[in-house]
Structure 1
Amino acid sequence: MTETTSLTRAERLDRLPFTREHGRLVVGSGLGWALDAMDVGLISFVMTALVAQWGLSNGEVSWIGSIGFVGMALGATLGGLLADRVGRRQVFALTLLVFGLATGAAALSWSVGALLVFRFLIGLGLGAELPVASTLVSEFAPARVRGRVVVALEAFWAVGWTLAALIGYFVVPTSDDGWRWALAIGAVPALYAVVVRRGLPESVRFLELRGRTDEAEAAVRRFERAADVEPVRSPAPPPAVAAPGPGALWSAATRTRTAALWIVWFSINFAYYGAFIWLPTLLFNDGFSLVKSFEYTLYITLAQLPGYAAAAYLIERWGRRPTLATFLLGSAVGAGMFAAAEGDTAVLLTGMVLSFFNLGAWGALYAVTPEIYPTALRATGAGAAAGFGRLASIAAPLCVPLLVDTGGTGLVFGAFAAFFVLAALAALRLPERRGEALDDPITSGTALRG
C-alpha cells in the first residue's frame, strides 16, 4: 500500500490484524462486563439466603429479583441514548461507578424496602453498561473477526457469573452476614470505573460524527502502531450530525429488523433470567440443601464457558443468524430436558446443556445487535433492544412462583423452552452481516436492506 492511498478511518481499522490494543480493549471492557455479571448473579444467592434468614414470601423474593431489572430497562434505554450523544467510553465508566456504589450500599440493607431501592439503583448502572460496551468493542474490531471478538467480550459474562457462584458457594453460607459480604465484594466496579475512564479509547466512528477529527485520528494511529502498520491519509469525514431520536428505529428501513431484534431480546431475557435468577431457590425448594443447590448452580454456570467458545467459532463460520437460531433452539431443548429431569444427575446434566446453549445464544445476540444499525443510531438501537428485553427480565421472576404453583418446576422450564423457540424464529428475520464493514447505513443505504 503506497503513502498516497486514501482510506477512511473505519477502513484503516478494518485492515488491521487483531493486536494487543484490541486485546486490551476486549479485556478492559470484559472486566467491566464480568463485574456486571457477578453483581447480577449474586442476587440469586442472596435471595436464597434471605428466604432462610428473613422468612421472605415468594412475592417478596420475586420483587427482589425483579426490581433490579426495572432499573436495567430504564438504564439500557437511557445509556444507549447518552452513548450516542456524549460517547461510549464516558457512559461505560459512569455505569460502572453507579452500580458499584449502589451494590456496596446494598450490603447495608436493613429491610426489604431498602434492598429494593438499592437494587433499582444497581439496575440503572447495569442496564446501561452492556449495550454500550458491546457497541464500543464492535466499532474497533476488524470486520473479518468482529463477531468472534464480541462473543469473546460476552464470554466475560460467564467469568462474572462463575465468580458470583463461587462467592455464593464459599461466602454466603458462612454466616448470617455472608450475603452482606458478598454484596460488599460487588462494590469493586466503582473502583474499576477509574481505570476504564483513563485507559480505554473512545469510538473512532463516534468521534468523527461529532467532528472531533484529531481525536479520531489519534485513536486510529494508536491501533496502527500496535500492528506496525504505516498510517495513510484519510478523507475528511462528513459534517458532524446530531444523533437521531429513538423514533428512527421504526423507520421504513429499520422497522422489520427492530421488531425481530426486540422479540429475540424479550424472549431470551424471559427464559434466561427466569431460569437462572431462581435456579438456586428452585433447587433448594425441591429438596436440595442450601450448599448443594449452590454447588449445582456453580457446575451449571461453568458450562457457559464452552458454550461461548462454540459460538465464537461458529459465528464466523456459519454466520450470525444461523448461529443465533441454532443456539436458541438448543436452549429450548435444554430447557425441555430440564423440565423432565428426575434425579440429581439428570438435573445437573440437563442444567448444563441449557447453560451451554443459552449463553452461546447470548454471545451471538450481542454480536448481531450493534451491527444492524448505523453509527449515529447504533448505541441507541442496542440500548433500546436491551431495554425492551429487560421488561421480560422484570416479568420472569414474578411469573415463576405462579408457574410453580400451577405446574411445578416442569411447567416453569417448559414455558422457558417455548420462549426460546419464539426467539429462534424471530432470529431468522435478522440481517446477516458476517464479514461486512460497519458502514453507515444513513449515508450508504447498504446496511439497511432487509
Structure 2
Amino acid sequence: MVNISARIDRLPSTPMLRKILFLCGIGWLFDAMDQGMVAGVMASIGKDWALSTGQLGVLGSSAMLGMAIGAALSGMAADRWGRRTVILWVLIIYGVASGLSGFSTNFTMLVILRFFTGFGLGGELPAASTLVSEFSPTRIRGRNVILLESFWAWGWIVAALVAYLLIPVYGWRIGFWVGAFPALFAAVIQRAIPESPRYLELRGKSDEADAIVSRMEKQAGINYKPESDSETAPKKVNNVHVSFADLWSKKYLASTIVLWVIWFGLNFGYYGFVLWTPTLLVGKGFALVKSFEFTLIMCLAQLPGYASAAYLVERIGRKKVLVVYLLGTALAAWLFGHAGTANQVLLYGCLLYFFSLGAWGCTYAYTPEVYPTVARATGSGWAAAFGRLGAFLAPMIVPVIYSAYGQAAGYKNVFIMLTVVFAVVAIVVGIVGKETMGKSLEEITD
C-alpha cells in the first residue's frame, strides 16, 4: 500500500507546497484586512448614520459571532467534505457578503451581512491552517504554518492603507467593496490548490492522493518506488466523522482542554489591547495622531515576532516557544501598563506586539498537530470558535475596568488583567501541553 504521509514527510519544500502556502496566505491576508479595516469603517458609518455606541457594538459583535459559528461549522465540514472545498466556499461567502455590505441601505441589513462576512472569515482560518499543515513535511511543518499566519500582519498593513487613502475620499462603502475580492480569488483557489493528500487517503481515494504526491516528488527529483517502501499505510477510513462530543472523549480530552485555553486566552488578551490601544493612549495624554503613529509602529513589530517564532519552532519546539512567547507577552503587557514616558510606551508596545503575534503563529502551527487526520479540522475549528468568545468578551470588559478605576489606575488595571490572562495560558501549556516538533502527524496523534 502507498503510505502518503511517509512520502510527504520525506519531501523538501517543493514549488507546489510554496504555491499552496502563498495562495492560502493571500486568503489569510484578506481575513486580516477585514479585521484591520473595521475600526475605520465603523467610525465612518457611525458618523454617516448617526449610530449610537451600542449600535456600533452590535455591528462589531455580529461579525465576531459569525466568526465563531463559521469556525466551528467549517472545521466539521472540512473533515467531512475536504479542506480545499471548505476554503473555496467560505471565501465566496465572505467576499459576496462583504461586497453586498457596501450596498447596505439600513443598519439591520448591514448587521446581517456582517454576520455572514464573519462566518466566512472564521471558516477560512482553521481549514487553511489544516491544509498547509497536512501538505508540509515534518521538519518544516511548524515553520510553514507560522509563515501562513504572518500574512495576517500584511493584511493589517493593507487595511491601514485602505482606511487612510480610500475611505476619507470615497466613504466607508469602498472598504466593504475592497473586501469583495476574496470571492473572485476563490476562482484561483479552485484551479490552483489541490485537496490534502492525507485527507484523500483517509477517505479511500489513494489514487488521487498518490497523483498529487507524485507531482511533488517529481518536482523534488525523487523517484518513488512502492515496492521499496517498507512502511505500512494507515488504514483507510470511509465516512467516519468526529462529533463535538468526541472531542471531549478520553482520547482527545487533554488536547481539547489545552487548545481551548490557548485560543480563549490569546483572543481575550489580543483583542483586549489591540482594539483599545489608540483610545487608551489618548486617555494617557497622547494626541490621537500620535496614538495612531505609535500603533502603526507597534504593528510593524509583528513581522519579526512571526519570523523569530518560525525560526525557533523547528529548533526548540512548539511547547517551549509557546510558553516563552506567552510569558514574554505577559511581561510586555505589565510593562506597557506601567509605562511612564513616550519612549517606554513605544518600546513596551513593540514588545507586546512582537511576543503576542509570535505566540499566535505558534498556536496556529500547534493546533492542527494534536488531532489525527479524521478529527484535525473539527478540533481546530471548535478551538478557534471558543477562542472567539474571548475576542467577543474582551472589548466589552476592557472599557468597564478602565472606566471603573479612572484613567490612570484603569489603564494599569487593564494591562494587569491581560498580564494575568497571558501568564495563566503559559502555565497551562507548560504543564499539560505536549511537544509535537519532529514527529509526523500520524506519530503525534495515533
Q: TM-score, normalising length from structure 2?
A: 0.92
Q: Would you say the 8 A contact 1:48–1:281 is kept in 2? A: no
Deviations 1:154-177 (A, max 9, x none): 1111111121122223333x24x4
Out of 431, 437, 442, the position equivalent to 2:440 is 437
Out of 62, 69, 74, the position equivalent to 1:79 is 74
**Which whole-Å CA distance do the structure 2 matches of 1:340 and 1:64 have between them?**
32
What displacement does 1:188 show? 1.3
Structure 1 alignment gaps of length 5 or more: 1-5, 441-445
Change (3 A) 1:141 1:272: same
User: Residue 212 of structure 2 aligns with which residue?
Assistant: 219
Asked whether 1:240 is paired with 2:242, we answer no
Change (3 A) 1:114 1:413: farther
User: Residue 367 of structure 1 aligns with which residue?
Assistant: 365
2:109 aligns to what SS in structure 1?
helix
**Which whole-Å CA distance do the structure 2 matches of 1:297 and 1:114 have between them?**
32
Out of 107, 127, 136, the position equivalent to 2:131 is 136
Quote the sequence identity (%): 46
Asked whether 1:92 is paired with 2:94, we answer no
Q: How does 1:16-35 map to 2 (within 5 A)?
A: 16-35=11-30
Q: Would you say the 8 A contact 2:83–2:195 is kept in 1? A: yes
User: Residue 325 of structure 1 aligns with which residue?
Assistant: 323
Out of 306, 313, 316, the position equivalent to 2:314 is 316
Count of equivalent residues: 436
Deviations 1:4-63 (A, max 9, x none): xx7611111110111211111110111101111111111122234445555544433333
User: Residue 338 of structure 2 aligns with which residue?
Assistant: 340
Asked whether 1:190 is paired with 2:188, we answer no
Q: Would you say the 8 A contact 1:169–1:291 is kept in 2? A: no
**Which whole-Å CA distance do the structure 1 matches of 2:288 and 2:112 have between them?**
26
User: Residue 61 of structure 1 aligns with which residue?
Assistant: 56
Deviations 1:302-360 (A, max 9, x none): 11000000100111111000101111111111222222223443333322111111100
User: Residue 116 of structure 2 aligns with which residue?
Assistant: 121
Q: How does 1:181-330 map to 2 (within 5 A)?
A: 181-233=174-226, 238-241=235-238, 242-283=240-281, 291-330=289-328
Change (3 A) 1:143 1:199: same
Change (3 A) 1:114 1:339: farther
User: Residue 425 of structure 2 aligns with which residue?
Assistant: 423
Q: Would you say the 8 A contact 1:41–1:164 is kept in 2? A: yes
Q: 1:8 is aligned with what amino acid?
A: N
**Which whole-Å CA distance do the structure 1 matches of 2:58 and 2:283 have between them?**
18
**Which whole-Å CA distance do the structure 2 matches of 1:51 and 1:119 have between them?**
15
Asked whether 1:147 is paired with 2:142, we answer yes
Structure 2 alignment gaps of length 5 or more: none
Q: 2:204 is aligned with what amino acid?
A: G
Asked whether 1:409 is paired with 2:411, we answer yes
**Which whole-Å CA distance do the structure 2 matches of 1:158 and 1:307 have between them?**
10
Out of 15, 37, 46, the position equivalent to 2:10 is 15
* CA RMSD across the alignment: 2.1
2:65 aligns to what SS in structure 1?
helix
**Which whole-Å CA distance do the structure 1 matches of 2:293 and 2:434 have between them?**
40
**Which whole-Å CA distance do the structure 1 matches of 2:129 and 2:367 have between them?**
9
**Which whole-Å CA distance do the structure 2 matches of 1:121 and 1:286 have between them?**
37
Q: 2:148 is aligned with what amino acid?
A: L
**Which whole-Å CA distance do the structure 1 matches of 2:342 and 2:216 have between them?**
50
User: Residue 443 of structure 1 aligns with which residue?
Assistant: none
Out of 385, 394, 397, the position equivalent to 1:396 is 394
Change (3 A) 1:112 1:301: farther
User: Residue 165 of structure 1 aligns with which residue?
Assistant: 160
Q: Once structures 1 and 2 are overlaid, which stretch shifts more, 324-333 or 276-285?
A: 276-285
**Which whole-Å CA distance do the structure 2 matches of 1:113 and 1:149 have between them?**
40
**Which whole-Å CA distance do the structure 2 matches of 1:420 and 1:39 have between them?**
25
